[in-house]
A and B are shown apart, each in its own frame.
Chain A
């Protein structure tokens, strides 16, 4: 269990994390936010690699900073893909087990490698691995002492879809087994597929937290702006204005700019309207799909 109470962290004049309070319990939690929002800073404070400028961070009731004892219950997979490339996966995980002073390091290392399905390549140098294999090796090293808490910083970055799926399944399994898993991501879909709960962080502040379905709904039901071009823009504009899901239509030489109340209803209604009026839609472009706009909307909500 991780508890953050009024945690802030600043670098000089720059505030990276601003008054964040959260409690993380068993299960998988996604830490979602755009790049530069302070996710890594937050994770580093939880992992004892950074002192909070203000507030307290505890892992299982113990302070994380200047307290190596927390690593008995905590595993960290950092974003930087730094591994001792001159070792093999087995040597690397075995060294981790030994550093944890486990009773039977060899068995623990083997179990961890099994868990991430790295036994096939375990005797090759890590230098020769693909990105996904390295990531799995690092997860194995972080799991070798079976920690209650596992922190992962952008674990899916640079993975191909198959590796991603595999990692998601692994996190799911670990979460279901009662461990506290926190992983950060800037991609909503990743968080959606793995985690039950989400903490959204924007510009250093905790913007939303709770069940991902609620946040997902907030995100998909937000107003959208679409650029539409059709065979008869004026007629389409009139027809669209009758739709409840449309908040406004603007007509100019380039086509229509449609403000829709929510994404799903509008995109389902548009083809029906066009079909009924006998208008051909040539172009439909959502115009504010940047992640930042999604997040800034969430902050307002």
Chain B
């Protein structure tokens, strides 16, 4: 873990206006939870929609996408990545530092509203379960989106396709796609950490745990390897 890279990455992340995009979803999530609770709606009626429909299906992947593609992708876009790469550092050191910042920021952004909603809907136990599952999800998503920013010039677009089409659409229609859906792992893990009637895992716990780890490790290894042969486009291209 390289402190200097983490420091530059964090300053870059919070220094860009893009950072403000992180705020609306968590605020919306807490707002909905508070309104439902204040209006006296039973948690069974709104818990699933807010926690799963908004939290796990939208907020977690979208925040991960913004942060995960932001830590390295925005530096590639504006060319500042060259300053970091022109140093005698093993490439894994750069990826690890960027990933640590991404996962940390995403977890922090997602865990707070998740915890609040979990407590409002059920109990502190659910809140903590949601926090734990969010952290796992943040790690897997961020690793995936960080790797995407090295694989393609359009990481945000490709990331959105994954979130909306693969996880959002196909995940509900074609059961087989759930095996490769981080969202399903996260829901299963949350349900396992604090079993309630609000959430229902659709894949097995073992599969969720193993596949989350595989996504995280595989994407990280891919990112390190791609960064080793990172090419700067010449004047002719």
Contacts and interface: CB of A to CB of B under 8 A. Distances in A.
Interface of A: 9, 11, 14, 16, 35-36, 38-41, 44, 47, 49-51, 65-66, 68-72, 74-76, 78, 80, 82-84, 86-87, 95-96, 98-101, 141-142
Contacts of A76: 82, 86
A11 B83 CA distance: 24
Given A41-B234, A87-B8, A47 B86 contact: yes
Nearest to B5: A99
B78 to A, nearest CB: 5
Contacts of A9: 234
Contacts of B90: 68
Contact of A16 (B88, B91, B236): B236
A101 to B, nearest CB: 8
B228 A86 contact: no
A149 B96 CA distance: 29
B7 to A, nearest CB: 7
Interface of B: 2-5, 7-8, 11-12, 15, 78-80, 82-91, 228-232, 234-237
Given A41-B236, A78-B79, A141-B83, A95 B7 contact: yes
Contacts, number: 93
A84 B235 contact: no
A102 B2 CA distance: 14
A102 to B, nearest CB: 11
Contact of B83 (A51, A70, A83): A83
A23 to B, nearest CB: 22
Contact of B234 (A35, A40, A99, A101): A40
A168 B131 CA distance: 57
Interface of A is mostly: mixed
A24 to B, nearest CB: 18
A84 B231 contact: no
B5 A11 contact: no
Contacts of A41: 234-236
Q: List the 10 closest A-B pairs by CB distance, nearest first.
A: A82-B79, A86-B15, A41-B234, A49-B232, A99-B87, A98-B4, A80-B79, A40-B235, A71-B88, A72-B88
B10 to A, nearest CB: 11
B232 A50 contact: yes
A71 B82 contact: no
Task: Select the residue from A80, A141, A142 with max chain B CB neighbours within 10 A.
Answer: A80
B234 A11 contact: yes
B234 A44 contact: yes
5 contacts: A11-B236, A16-B235, A41-B235, A74-B86, A100-B87
Given A66-B229, A71-B86, A95-B7, A86 B12 contact: yes
Contact of A84 (B83, B229, B232): B83
A84 to B, nearest CB: 5
B155 to A, nearest CB: 18
Nearest to A92: B83
A84 B234 contact: no
Contacts of B89: 68, 99
B236 A75 contact: no
Contacts of B2: 99
A71 B232 CA distance: 16
Contacts of A40: 234-235
A96 B90 CA distance: 15
A47 B82 CA distance: 10
Nearest to B14: A86
A36 B235 contact: yes
Given A68-B89, A86-B15, A44 B232 contact: yes
Contacts of A99: 2, 4-5, 84, 87, 89
Contacts of A50: 231-232, 234
Contacts of B85: 49, 68
